[in-house]
Amino acid sequence: MNIYDVYFYEAFDEEERQIRQFLPETIRAGFTYKTIQECDHLNAPARIISTRTQTIIPDLWLTEAEAFLTRSTGYDYFQSLKNKAGQSVHFGYLPLYCARAVAEQAMLLWMALWRKLPQQTAQFKTFHRDGLTGRESRGKSLLVVGVGNIGYEVVQIGRGLDMIVRGVDIVRKHNDVDYVDFDEALPEADIIVSAMNLTPENTGYFRYERLKKAKPGALFVNVARGEQSPPSGLKRLLDENILGGIALDVYPFENELGTALRMNSEINNEELKIIQTLSRYPNVIFTPHNAFNTAESVERKAEQSVEQVRHFTEKGSFLWNVPNLTE
């Protein structure tokens, strides 16, 4: 028997406080900052299980819980779960809460690389400016790969910086975007930003063989999904001086990476070992899948999460459902 109506895993402090503000007293909720695999929960503790991006749902729980809610705009993992679970199990996500926040993080990352911010802060100790000459964004070419809600915000930001902005997407839904073919536009791009949803077709999209045709010194920023950009290829591109810098907020095998870093445990995965190596490069910036995390976005996220939970407890369905793999 479930103890709670909903249990929120991976709920950091600010998020938990916001969710509690929106939750009605009639809904019994449990919280932990841990993933399921970091807890000692053998069985599903609630009708609705809510996670973020690093939890692995046990197969047994697909028969114990009625619904699963990812507090994320990405739903690729939940699509695979939906394919395994029975028709009576519901899967929801949050499509609308963080587009601007993630887009601004993308800008933050490419600007920090442009202006060599890590080196600047390191050299404050000696107040030397050798090797710190950066670049300006005006007139540079920005290539946005995936022009959905997040990608379109990146396009708008790039325009505000007087950049030459082009977009890549199989669905060309914005009339004001200059859509191009990726392989044709890549050699002209100064900055490449990935804002794509992860699909089987674009897994490994930014592989070495494709990005090696980039303009020498181009920057690569991924705020979408780590599976799209294999670390081994990125390292080679940096070592061969093809890319001038990379910035990632997302990683392959992220559930394994996040758990290992939080628990200070050994990493055995070869691709994740490369992530550790790259983290020591001066032209690399890694952030902990934090692009969504603004005060405004967390408030929207909490409100929409509770809206999803309330809708399910009252009507037996979510407002925003994870689509089937075939949709």
Nearest residue to 199 via CA among 131, 233, 148, 152? 148
The domain total for the chain is 2
327 occurs within a structural domain: no
Question: Is 254 found in the same domain as 176?
Answer: yes
pTM of the prediction? 0.92
Return the CATH number at 9.
3.40.50.720
The residue range of the domain holding 244 is 99-286
**Distance, CA of 112 to CA of 135 (rounded, Å):** 10
Nearest 10 degrees: Cα torsion 79, 98, 169, 192: -120
Contact predicate 301/292, CB 8 Å: yes
CB atoms within 10 A of CB 12: 13
Sequence letter at residue 326? T
Six token digits for residue 223: 């705020």
Question: Is 84 found in the same domain as 106?
Answer: no
322 occurs within a structural domain: no
Question: Is 159 found in the same domain as 83?
Answer: no
pLDDT 10s digits, 265-295: 999 999 999 999 999 999 999 999 999 999 9
Question: Is 142 found in the same domain as 49?
Answer: no
pLDDT 10s digits, 22-40: 999 999 999 999 999 999 9
Question: Is 197 found in the same domain as 73?
Answer: no
Is pLDDT above 60 for 327? no
Contact predicate 150/156, CB 8 Å: no
Sequence letter at residue 212? K
Question: Is 33 found in the same domain as 118?
Answer: no
Question: Is 168 found in the same domain as 69?
Answer: no
List, in sequence order, every beta strand (DSSP E) within 102-175: 141-145, 164-168
**Distance, CA of 203 to CA of 252 (rounded, Å):** 10
pLDDT 10s digits, 233-264: 999 999 999 999 999 999 999 999 999 999 99
Nearest residue to 209 via CA among 180, 233, 182, 177? 233
Question: Is 103 found in the same domain as 93?
Answer: no
